Structure 1
Amino acid sequence: MTSDTTGARAGDKARERPGYTRLFRIAEFRAVFLAHAASLFGVVVAEISLTVLVYGLTGSPLLSALTFTLGFLPYLVGGTLLSGIADRFPARRVLVACDLVCAGCAALMALPVTPVGGLLALRCVIALVSPVFNGTRMATLTDVLGDGDLFVLGRSLLRIVSQSAVLVGFGLGGVLLTVVSPRGALTVTVVTFLCSATLLRLGTKARSARQREGDNREGDKGAALLRYSLAGARQVLGHRRVRALLLLLWMPPMFVIAPEALAAAYVDEIGAGPAAVGFLMCSMAVGTVASELAAGSLLSPSARSRIALPLASVTLLPLIGYAAVPGLAWAVAILLLAGAGSAYTLGLDRWFVDAVPEELRGRAMTLHSAGLMTIQGVGTALAGAAAEVFDVSTVVAGAGLLGGLCCTALALEVRALGPKDRDGADRHVTAR
């Protein structure tokens, strides 16, 4: 064996070596990571503060719940009709502008003169620009980290931060509200969005837009943007492999939201104390964070790809255990196990970014982000409706069974299509 061959194989092993620490050697990623953590904390504080504020002003549980729900509903509109912004304009400009819009909305919410209707409308605006921001940031990660394993680990780490916010952020937000008023807490959100904008402006490079020369058209710019956004959605959803990957990324969150949405009702069903709701709400996030950290730190990229489809097929099956109406300890174990299956996303993220060409990535990532949030809102609504007719344990077990069947079918579809669809077409979406 020659020394050149040995060196090449050593290089391949080095590239295969997993681990998150190498991400922080990249200055741009450090800026993106810190900006994500800052803005995420601001969003968490805003959600808690608005829910408390609206309930305090109206005394209406419905309007208070609607404030939280409005964080989901506009995602579909923004992600579909505005996704072209992610490709048509320079990424850094889009990210900073979205943060400034959110900071402005939070500042208006903090004003004592803003009525309840204004609070709900401003909440909608934040939710409308969120998928554009998230999609642009995901596409930007491919510029900062490349479209290989570093991108997968970067995406995973941002997800881990988001899940950790479920464990830490709401608790910190609740403590904050014991010190300041809800409107006062919203000023913290303003500061976090401004910090995020500053980090992204100063910590990331200026890059040109992904659109090609022919995408610049004269005439009504608003109508052109809508056409461009919708064309991107058609291209992404019209490609069989990309569509199957998207559905497989969306489907588990749609069903796995059921035990979290119905946690309070299940605690009542088994006669546990109110503190049990917190344990059930946190268990899934703990399993998710632990599994992603383990997969990203211990498994090579090829190993994560090998386990992706089998893991996606079984991740919801533990929920079937709810059919036995388990007590609190067993329910927590079930949710931890279901959350652990989410490591499948590391393999699918790599396949998804490989399947979409660079000039379409912003729109594809925005659609991915919008669909993920929307499908969780749909799952929450369906679980609540089903719980009006059936016991909570039956609903959760049914979600595990039906979701498992859907995920298995989609995993088989992804495997059958492979890197090319059955007609032998190129794996990439044709971008126009």
Structure 2
Amino acid sequence: MAAGHGPGRESGVTAVAARTSFASVLRLREFRALWLAELLSVCGDQLARVALAILVFHRTDSAALTGLTYALTYVPTLVGGVLLAGWGDRRSRRDVMVWTDLARAALVGVMVVPGMPLWVLCVLVAVMTLFGGPFKAAQQATLPEILTGEQYTVGMALRNVTMQSAQLVGFGAGGMLVAAVGPGVGLTVNAATFAVSALVTRFGVRYRDPVASAAEPGWRAFLRSTTSGARLVWQDTGLRTLVGLNWLAGFYVVPETIAAPYAATLGVGTATVGWLMAADPIGSVLGGIVFGKWVPERVQVRALGLLGVAAGIPLVLCFAHPGLVPSMLLFATSGLLATGYNIQGVVQFMRRLPNGQRAQGSGLNSTGLVTVQGLGAAAAGGLADLIGPAKTIAAAGTAGVAMAVPIALAWGRTRQPVTEPEGRAE
């Protein structure tokens, strides 16, 4: 999804204190390298999603196949993020990020070959997405080694705003670029961003030894590492509730996943597909500013559940079949409200994780988040073929509200704000 609900919303932020600024964390060389590498990748990914959505819809005229292809840019991350996340512990995390970026650059480069069969394209998309899981796990595990205390909070704030902005540029410019020169150019640009990201990471982030050495080899250690995060989250009521809150994105991602067929029902051109996809990131950027700077943390913590419910209501209004501009306003409003619960929800989730299991726990949350968005995209595509895109979006909003109500009630019972993150992992 727009990042607003995808791999870019996994970052949290509280109100930014004056003594630590965005500029101050950007002066840290390693953080600056990771930030820039992620920014490049996100821009390229969003451009590629527009290109793939338009390419598949034009070739098949099927909302179901469009939604399925879009889902393949999310779902395999679960396998990569859960089963392959151990690479980030058993290998140098910097090297994991570099090699997975290079692999993704090569896979996207093959997609550009003219006349690529649709099934081959889907396989390439799935494998490319698979490598996103270990990349994200290694990146998330590296950040606490670079940023500590308030720097970590402010760094996450900066990532939230800039990655949402990158998605906005990728979707908005992507629709116009693909309309002008074709999907192949968009995919070529995406391959180049992965390659540049690998170079920035290789020369901007210092080498660190693996944290899990050969002293604990074998499949048993691998399986323990894979399942420890799931056990931790499942056994803690507060963590389970926060995961459920973040995973509401599976419903709220729907407008951008079927933007191409939705635009067709509105009778608008190809270039507007990107702008429909960009509406949620626009709201997310505004939400990052509103909740990151102006709403006190204690208010955000209390309002988490209510914001989860409220984010679905604008989508319910699509039952009325609004036009292009009203639709964009509704999608942006949903994105703004969803950012409100996601920002503080991720902060509270990360601060509740024990230091020694923070990477595994956060990896489960983020890969699950990506996966539920993929499942939502696949389901939305099939449903849109049956009842139409507008009713599908409204149905997704209704289901999201229904799921958010018990989550909000559970949060009210388990709410226990944690305002100071634990120190850096040794």
**TM norm structure 1:** 0.77
SS at match of 2:74: coil
Give the 3 Å change call, closer, same or farther, for CA 70–14 of structure 1 in structure 2: closer
Give the 3 Å change call, closer, same or farther, for CA 49–261 of structure 1 in structure 2: closer
Does structure 1 residue 258 correspond to structure 2 residue 257? Answer: no
Provide Cα deviations, 1:327-377, integer angstroms capped at 9, x if missing partner.
444333322221111222221121111111222222222222221111112
How far is 1:65 from its partner? 6.4
Letter in 2 for 1:296: G
Q: Tell me, which stretches of 5 or more residues in structure 2 are unaligned?
A: 1-14
How far is 1:33 from its partner? 1.1
SS at match of 1:206: coil
Contact 1:254 1:375 in 2 (8 A): yes
- Aligned-partner Cα distance in 2 for 1:273–1:48: 16
Does structure 1 residue 95 correspond to structure 2 residue 97? Answer: yes
Which residue among 142, 145, 156 is the counterpart of 1:143?
145
Which region of structure 1 is more displaced relative to structure 2, 63-72 or 229-238?
Answer: 63-72
- Aligned-partner Cα distance in 2 for 1:388–1:114: 25
Give the 3 Å change call, closer, same or farther, for CA 413–280 of structure 1 in structure 2: same
Which residue among 336, 340, 349 is the counterpart of 1:340?
336
Provide Cα deviations, 1:361-410, integer angstroms capped at 9, x if missing partner.
22222222221111112222333444455465444334333312322321
- Aligned-partner Cα distance in 1 for 2:396–2:384: 11
Does structure 1 residue 247 correspond to structure 2 residue 220? Answer: no
Match of 1:32 in 2: 34
Contact 2:164 2:285 in 1 (8 A): yes
Which region of structure 1 is more displaced relative to structure 2, 150-159 or 77-86?
Answer: 150-159
| 1:224-235 to 2 correspondences below 5 Å | 224-235=221-232
Give the 3 Å change call, closer, same or farther, for CA 333–101 of structure 1 in structure 2: closer
Letter in 1 for 2:346: D
Give the 3 Å change call, closer, same or farther, for CA 126–261 of structure 1 in structure 2: closer
Give the 3 Å change call, closer, same or farther, for CA 408–152 of structure 1 in structure 2: farther
- Aligned-partner Cα distance in 2 for 1:312–1:53: 33
How many pairs are equivalent?
A: 401
- Aligned-partner Cα distance in 2 for 1:113–1:328: 33
Does structure 1 residue 374 correspond to structure 2 residue 363? Answer: no
Give the 3 Å change call, closer, same or farther, for CA 281–64 of structure 1 in structure 2: closer
**TM norm structure 2:** 0.78
Match of 2:12 in 1: none
Provide Cα deviations, 1:114-149, integer angstroms capped at 9, x if missing partner.
876654433322211102211222232222222x55
How far is 1:173 from its partner? 4.6
Match of 1:217 in 2: 216
Does structure 1 residue 160 correspond to structure 2 residue 170? Answer: no
Match of 1:314 in 2: 310
Match of 2:393 in 1: 396
- Aligned-partner Cα distance in 2 for 1:259–1:218: 45
Give the 3 Å change call, closer, same or farther, for CA 226–26 of structure 1 in structure 2: same
Contact 1:35 1:195 in 2 (8 A): yes
How far is 1:243 from its partner? 1.8
Q: Tell me, which stretches of 5 or more residues in structure 1 are unaligned?
A: 1-12, 421-426
- Aligned-partner Cα distance in 1 for 2:68–2:254: 18
Higher relative contact order (CA 8 A, sep 6+): 2
CA RMSD of aligned residues (A): 3.7
Provide Cα deviations, 1:308-339, integer angstroms capped at 9, x if missing partner.
34323322223233344444443333222211
Which region of structure 1 is more displaced relative to structure 2, 260-269 or 151-160?
Answer: 260-269
